[in-house]
Each structure stands twice: as C-alpha cells, then as structure tokens.
Amino acid sequence: MTTLIKNALIIPMTAKEKTIRGSILIEDGIIRSVGSTTEEADEIIDASRMIALPSFVNAHTHLSMTLMRNYKDTAENLQAWLSEIFPIEDKLDDEDIYQSSRLGCAELIQSGCTVFADMYFHAWNTVKAVKEAGMRAIVGQTFMNDAADAAFRIRELAPRTLEAIGSSDMIRLDAAVHAVYTATPDCYVIAVEWAAGRGARLHTHLSETRKEVDDCLKEHGKTPVDLLESIGAFSIPTYAAHAVHISDKEMETLKARSVSVVHNPSSNMKLASGVAPLPGFRSKGINIAIGTDGASSNNNLSMMKEMNAAALLQTIANMTPSAARPYDIIEAATLGGARALGLDGRIGTIEVGKEADITLINTCEVNMTPLNDPFSAIIFAADRKNVDTVFCRGRKLMEHGNLLTIDKDEAIRKTNERWEDILRR
C-alpha cells in the first residue's frame, strides 16, 4: 500500500525552522521520499492547504483519568486534590479502565497525537484500547508503596499486561514509579532492576511541588533528584514528569544521566505547582518533552492546547517571548517526546526511512489566515479543530476530522455509563 501526500507545507523537524513545499511518499507504513516526487501511489492526498508535520507525542498522561474530568477542580493543591482522587481510583475495575482509555485514545488522535506514555492501573485494559485505536503507547507498570508491593506487582500484574501486548512492537511496558512521596527507595530499586532486565525505561513524577521537595529533604536529607541519583534510579533511561522545582545543580545531574523532562504546563498551573524552568533545561542540553498529564488535572488531552499553554506560560514566567520559541515547543512535542520514550529512531521527524506518523493541519480556516509563520500558527493560532488527518505508521486514524478506528459516540456513551456506575459504588 502506497500513499502520496502531495503539495504539503512540510515541517520535517530535521533542522531548525526548516520547511519544504512538496510531497511525502509512504509505502507499507514507511516514509520512502520527502520533497519532490512524481511517483504514482494507491492513494493520493492533495495537501496543498495543509501543514504536514510529525504526529505529536504525549510523553506523560494518565489516560483513564478521563473518567474524572471536571471533578474536584477547586482543590487547594496537588496533595488536597489527590486526597479526593485516590478514593475514586480504589473503586475502578477493568471495564472502567478500558472504556475510559478508548475515550482518551479518541481525544489524543483528534489533537494529532499518535503515541503516549501512560501511568495508570490495570494497564492490560489500556493496551486493549490502544490496539483498537491503532496507536502506539508506552504503558506503565505502576509502582507505589514498598519493596514487597513492588515484588507483588512484578509477579502478579506485569505478566497480564505483557500478555496483552503480545508480539506488538507498537506498545512497550515501562516501570512507572509514582513518586518519592508514594514509593519507598527500595520500591524504586526493585522497579528499576526489573525495567533494566527488560530493556525498559523509568517513568516517574519528579519534583512536581515545593512540598514534595521539602518533605523529601526532611525524610531523606536529599531532594527528590538527589535521592533518586543516590539509589541508582537514573541508571536506566528515565523520563521525569513535571520537574518544576529543580536547581541548577540538579540540572547537571539530569544532564549527566540523560534524563528527559516532561513539561505539563496546564496541570502545573491548575494545581498551583509552579513553572518548570525550561530555559534552564534548554541551556544545559536536557531533552524536553511535553505531556498533558491526566484529564482530571488538565482537563483535556489536547496536545494543541498544551503546546499553546507551554509557550504562553514560559513567556510570562520569564517576561520574554524568547523563553519558548514556537519551533522549540513543536520540537518538544514531536522529536523531544520521541527521544524521551526511546522512539526517535522510528518517529519524531519526517525523513526517509522513518515510520509514517504524520499529522496534517488544515490552514484554510479563519484562525489560520493569513498563515505567515507556520510555526507561530501552530502554537498560537491553531486548535484541535485544525487537525485534519492523522497517520500512525502509515495507517489513517482520522480523516478530515472523522475518527476511523474509534467510534466516538460510543466511547462517550460508555464512559458516561461507567462514571455513573462508579458514583453509585
């Protein structure tokens, strides 16, 4: 099967602010040519009014928290919010996770996203939804509590998710250790050893709030970064969500250990957690990715909205528009996310040999006219409704705004039914 996307304004993400006006040839899910081509194809798409760029990577989310969207939104801080959320999570069952994961996949696709890193319970149900959606995912074997609990999760839970993944190379299981305030150092050590033995990565929340840092200093005499460094947690590739309260010295540690940071601006603003120091990360050469966090603390999974929030938040926090240039934000949401998840050899750019995860953005709309700077247009003008067509490994997941793999209406209905049932439990 060959597909030719012709006459597009291509943002390949292979060089800073580079654009190409031309075509992309996809064959059996792989990009075979970029630029000028006269080859025939089984399907030809006229993208003369489209921007073509790598599909977005949501490098940190809790997909099934779509269930708790618009719920308990006035909590004073992260800890107060979690005290409201944890009791709900204790009630969740397999069907809750599956149906809400389907809804989450649909929402991600609608915002041009084809891969996400998830940290949530009963991950085998999320795997089922991902396969149905035709997406990629890095699902997490969650770890909390102590060493004994970690051993239980490895023994009893991880095999269920691995069985669900089967032979798929579109889904991977990483170690998702919640945070230093919910998991002991021994829990981290066991989780990291397990992940290392499988060639997997560590996904964790890190220094999200000032309270987290202060409490860690009181209990361990170290900041979260220093604690995880001291126990060897960063000995495997790590992507750390939030990383809001990070010192220059800690940045040196993250750089030395090649830790990627995942910026979650909407969640950080909503829960009054603070502003991640993106200019500092960038100056140190630390890889930056972008995540939406869950739909309960965001309240959406739109990568379009998250990129806009990231740019505006850094601008006002640093009092200069140069703190987060549009190209840099797009890079974080594409190639930066792919690097964080170890997928940059396969996706994250539009170039020959890469797998065809491509999003087409419609520029023939009032909010995109005149186009002028396409990078600024994506960050400051575009929204989810401009996302026209989405490919994952060459397969269309959405065409002209219509989802092709997930029945949106059914996903909405089923999720509402599950939430109503949860409230009765």
What distance in Å separates the CA atoms of residue 89 and residue 198, rounded to the nearest whole number?
Answer: 28
What distance in Å separates the CA atoms of residue 243 and residue 266, rounded to the nearest whole number?
Answer: 14
| Buried residues in 120-137 as b, exposed as e (16+ CB within 10 A) | bbbbbbbbbbbbebbbbb
Q: Which long-range contacts (CB under 8 A, 24 or more apart) does 277-285 make?
A: 277/246, 277/251, 278/310, 278/314, 278/323, 278/324, 279/314, 279/318, 279/323, 279/324, 280/246, 280/248, 280/251, 281/243, 281/246, 281/251, 281/254, 282/328, 284/251, 284/252, 284/254, 284/255, 285/255
Which residues are bridge partners to 136 per DSSP? 115
For residue 155, how many other CB atoms are within 10 A of its CB?
A: 9
| 363 neighbors 369 (Cβ within 8 angstroms) | yes
- CATH code for residues 2-54+348-402: 2.30.40.10
At residue 388 the predicted structure's pLDDT band, cuts being 50, 70 and 90, is very high
Q: Is 245 helix (H, G, I), strand (E, B) or coil?
A: coil
| 370 neighbors 378 (Cβ within 8 angstroms) | no
What distance in Å separates the CA atoms of residue 173 and residue 180, rounded to the nearest whole number?
Answer: 21
Q: Is 275 helix (H, G, I), strand (E, B) or coil?
A: coil
Q: Is 73 exposed, middle or buried (0-12, 13-18, 19+ CB in 10 A)?
A: middle
Query: Which residues, other chains included, contact 1 with Cβ-Cβ below 8 Å and sequence gap of 6+?
Result: 27, 28, 42, 43, 394
DSSP β-ladder status, 30-35 and 171-177: unpaired
How high is the pLDDT of residue 76? Answer: 82
**What percentage of residues in the chain have a pLDDT greater than 90?**
94
Least confident of 37-51, 108-122, 343-357, 367-381: 37-51
Q: List the domain boundaries for the chain.
A: 2-54+348-402, 56-340
pLDDT at 38 over 80: no
Average pLDDT over residues 32-58: 93
Structure tokens at 188: 């981290």
Domains 2-54+348-402 and 56-340 share a fold: no
What are the tens digits of pLDDT across the range 294-323?
999 999 999 999 999 999 999 999 999 989
How high is the pLDDT of residue 129? Answer: 98
What are the tens digits of pLDDT across the range 120-161?
999 999 999 999 999 999 999 999 999 999 999 999 999 999
How high is the pLDDT of residue 372? Answer: 96
For residue 149, how many other CB atoms are within 10 A of its CB?
A: 16
Cα–Cα distances (Å) from 85 to 76, 78, 79, 177, 346, in that order, read 13, 10, 10, 18, 36
| 303 neighbors 108 (Cβ within 8 angstroms) | yes
CATH homologous superfamily of 56-340 = Metal-dependent hydrolases (3.20.20.140)
Q: What is the DSSP letter of 55?
A: P
For residue 22, how many other CB atoms are within 10 A of its CB?
A: 18
What distance in Å separates the CA atoms of residue 373 and residue 332, rounded to the nearest whole number?
Answer: 18
Q: What is the DSSP letter of 342?
A: T
For residue 74, how many other CB atoms are within 10 A of its CB?
A: 7
How high is the pLDDT of residue 36? Answer: 82
At position 158, the amino acid (one-letter code) is A
Cα–Cα distances (Å) from 97 to 105, 226, 368, 370, in that order, read 12, 34, 37, 43
**308 prior amide bond cis, ω within 30:** no
How high is the pLDDT of residue 124? Answer: 98
Q: Is 319 helix (H, G, I), strand (E, B) or coil?
A: coil
Q: Is 21 helix (H, G, I), strand (E, B) or coil?
A: strand
User: H or E segment at 266?
Assistant: helix 265-270
Structure tokens at 381: 């003008």
How high is the pLDDT of residue 327? Answer: 98
Give residue for tokens 């003008």: 381
Question: What's the mean pLDDT when you consider all of the chain?
Answer: 96
